[in-house]
Amino acid sequence: MAKNNSSKDQKSKDLKQFEKDAEGKVMTTNQGLKVNDTNNSLKAGERGSTLLEDFLLREKITHFDHERIPERIVHARGSAAHGYFELTKNIKKYSKAGIFTDTDRKTPVFVRFSTVAGSKGSPDLARDVRGFAVKFYTQEGTWDLVGNNMPIFFIQDAMKFPDLIHSVKPEPNNEIPQAASAHDTFYDFVSHSTETLHNHIWAMSDRAIPRSLRMMEGFGIHTFRLINDKNESHFVKFHWKPKLGVHSVTWDEAVKINGADADFHRRDLWDAIEAGQYPEWELGIQVVADKDEHKFDFDLLDPTKLIPEEMVPVEIIGRMVLNRNPENFFAETEQVAFLPGHIIPGIDFTNDPLLQGRLFSYRDTQLSRLGSPNFHQIPINRPIGEVHNNQRDGHMQMDIPKGQTAYFPNTLGAGCPHLAKMSEGGFHSYEERIDAKKVRTRSESFSDHFSQPAFFYRSLADWEKAHVADAYTFELGKCKQTYIKERMLYLIAEIDKDLAKKVGKGLGMEIPKSIEKPVNQAIGADADVKKHQPPKKKNYLDTDPALSQANTKFESIATRQIAVLVADGFSMSNFKSMKKALEKENAMVKIIAPHGGKIKCDEHMEHDVDAAIMTTESVLFDAIYIPGGKKSITTLLEESKYKKFINEAFKHCKAIAADKEGEDLINETFVANYKDDKAILINEKPQSFIDAIAKHRNWERMDIAAKVPA
């Protein structure tokens, strides 16, 4: 006990010494220049474009971009696939881009999915945002739509990106925790930067632990511009809608999946494509006329805000299919370089300050990772059209440019390469009027930090809200500093008091009535603090069904993994009819037996075993089926893990079916008293089981499921 007190005393002394050493230390650049504002980039007016002369932004971002080699600093853990995009609806009234006007085209794409915070070797099922980056190899050049599976981002200005990532990465003193946000530095940052709260509540929702990369939405995040052939501009948000619907796992499953199969998402994507079950998404757009830019209660240029689909419906204009796995992971998935600055005629940028910073940062990062300005010559990054310019040499030059000239204008090279007119497809930036002072600040219209998180939470189903409360409780429960938890509880209460009460109860803490420091510190040293404080939340729309996974697609069970629990002597008649029905719906039927190799049914036919019971877990499957057969069930009753398998599936609200003697195994589990559950099917027709699987989970079971013994 004395040793423990001594340790606490030493920590207290160290903290006091640290605070003493910190006194009088003013932030500077690497050249010793004192910094007045490290939260906002230099812009042409509050809502204007970011200026290239911003040396503070470039120093901060450049240093951040070069912190790691060769692994990506963020989005290091990724999986990818080849495919194609087809336009299904001509939108030439909005854009002159060939990809949006030619419905006869089939445009090749390469798509990379990723986690954000973890390293390359981290597990797939971390609670995290997922990257959703699409490279379109169009006839007019390469277009990269580099987004996430959430429609907003944590911060409003790229200047704060290094701070965000530094806070969520493993703490630098001990490199703990990996691929996790449940620690003090992240919540210290979040609780002082209230602009993060919208994306943060999405990260606390089930969206952060998807069932599959094939079952999550994708978003371009930013507001872009579409430009038509009359040079008219419209604002646009891009959406990817998965054909299989938006589905997630529970946190308890995620933790166990990471232990049972850390490559769960990667394997799932690869196996689906190899099996011919090609992932598919619809591309949708939300379009806002230029004249309506200011008609909303939020700012279109604020990347922490979404446009509710109830206000501006998503118009479906195309579909994307992934039909080929990479041939070499490093050459393709690792070396692919996505840049938001890769656009084509008909698409342009807005003054979103996060987007403006990304336009610089991504190219700088690829120079660091891939070691040369010639990274566009790597096969996976090459455009499908020919490249002609006067750029020469450099590390890893793979082309052999010919001719005497490498400058423009020239006569010795017959003037080549020539400039392209707009009518010939030459890119022309949208001529947006700029008339503003050069300032380092952000618009007051970005200051509402509570309305949209509250709107998102209100839109969720009760079971989703329960998961959000549990996530906050778990994450904050991992934090050590009480004052950080108090700040977060105060902010959560600003979003929703009932949510804060649930989290506070889990933490054993009361919701503070006030906090000492200003709520929002994402401002400069000389900024008007009151001017930038978030106002009280508004309710400009009560709910939006599109935000809840309870309203996703529930028609298909394609690629769903069905565990069939059997031993020698299982009923072939039961198994055959169920297997036929499931596979007709393109589900994956897996035999789980007491041992590997082969087993025999009651008709003495041999069947390949997909996994021995000791080598797999129920969390890797979407549903369970137990055929009859007295001999088989007698064997299964002797192995306790089969009972655990069933109990755990019930705990995670999955569908369970059994035929004839299979009910005897059910009767030896926790499920025995709940056979009236609509997703527990005893001696039912295969179609009833299929319908239950298609619903993903029976969330009405949640309260009962919580009582299942560990």
113-167 pLDDT, tens digit per residue, is 999 999 999 999 999 999 999 999 999 999 999 999 999 999 999 999 999 999 9
**Statement: residue 588 has pLDDT above 90:** yes
Task: Please name every residue paired with 311 in a beta bridge, in sequence order, or none if there are none.
Answer: none
* 64 vs 223, higher pLDDT: 223
Please report the pLDDT score of residue 389 as a whole number: 87
Looking at mean pLDDT, say which of 46-60, 427-441, 597-611 comes out highest: 597-611
> 248 is written with which tokens?
């997630």
The predicted-structure confidence for 178-194, as pLDDT tens digits, reads as follows 999 999 999 999 999 99
Please report the pLDDT score of residue 1 as a whole number: 43
CATH number of domain containing 685? 3.40.50.880
- Give a yes or no: residue 112 inside a domain: no
Asked whether the beta carbons of 651 and 644 are under 8 A apart, the reply is: no
Please report the pLDDT score of residue 26 as a whole number: 80
Q: What are phi and psi of 479, to 5 degrees?
A: -75, 145
**Looking up tokens 């769903």, which residue turns up?**
560
Asked whether the beta carbons of 659 and 684 are under 8 A apart, the reply is: no
Task: Count CB atoms within 10 A of the CB of residue 619.
Answer: 25
Asked whether the beta carbons of 112 and 79 are under 8 A apart, the reply is: yes
Average confidence (pLDDT) over 427-454 = 92
Residue 477 CA to residue 499 CA, distance in Å, equals: 15
- Give a yes or no: residue 251 inside a domain: no
- Report which DSSP code applies to 30: T
Banded pLDDT at 24 (limits 50, 70, 90): confident
**Statement: residue 69 has pLDDT above 60:** no
**Statement: residue 581 has pLDDT above 70:** yes
The predicted-structure confidence for 478-513, as pLDDT tens digits, reads as follows 999 999 999 999 999 999 999 999 999 999 999 999
Please report the pLDDT score of residue 15 as a whole number: 65
Structural domain including 684 reads: 557-705
Q: In total, how many domains does the chain have?
A: 1
- In angstroms, the first-to-last Cα distance of the chain is 33
Sequence-separated contacts (24+) of 98-104 with Cβ below 8 Å: 98/138, 98/139, 98/140, 98/344, 98/346, 99/136, 99/138, 99/140, 99/143, 99/344, 99/346, 100/226, 100/317, 100/346, 101/346
Catalytic residue numbers, as ranges:
75, 148
Classified as helix, coil or strand, 108 is strand
**pTM (predicted TM-score):** 0.92
**Statement: residue 64 has pLDDT above 90:** no
- Give a yes or no: residue 665 inside a domain: yes
Asked whether the beta carbons of 317 and 284 are under 8 A apart, the reply is: yes
- Give a yes or no: residue 612 inside a domain: yes
- Give a yes or no: residue 582 inside a domain: yes
Q: Give the torsion through C-alpha atoms of 451, 457, 460, 462, to 10 deg.
A: -140
Average confidence (pLDDT) over 380-404 = 89
Among the listed ranges 187-196, 302-311, 428-437, which one has the minimum average pLDDT value?
428-437
Average confidence (pLDDT) over 361-381 = 92
Render 64-97 in DSSP notation, one character per residue. Answer: HHTSSSSS-SSS-SEEEEEEEEEE-S--TTT---
Rg for the chain, CA atoms, rounded: 28
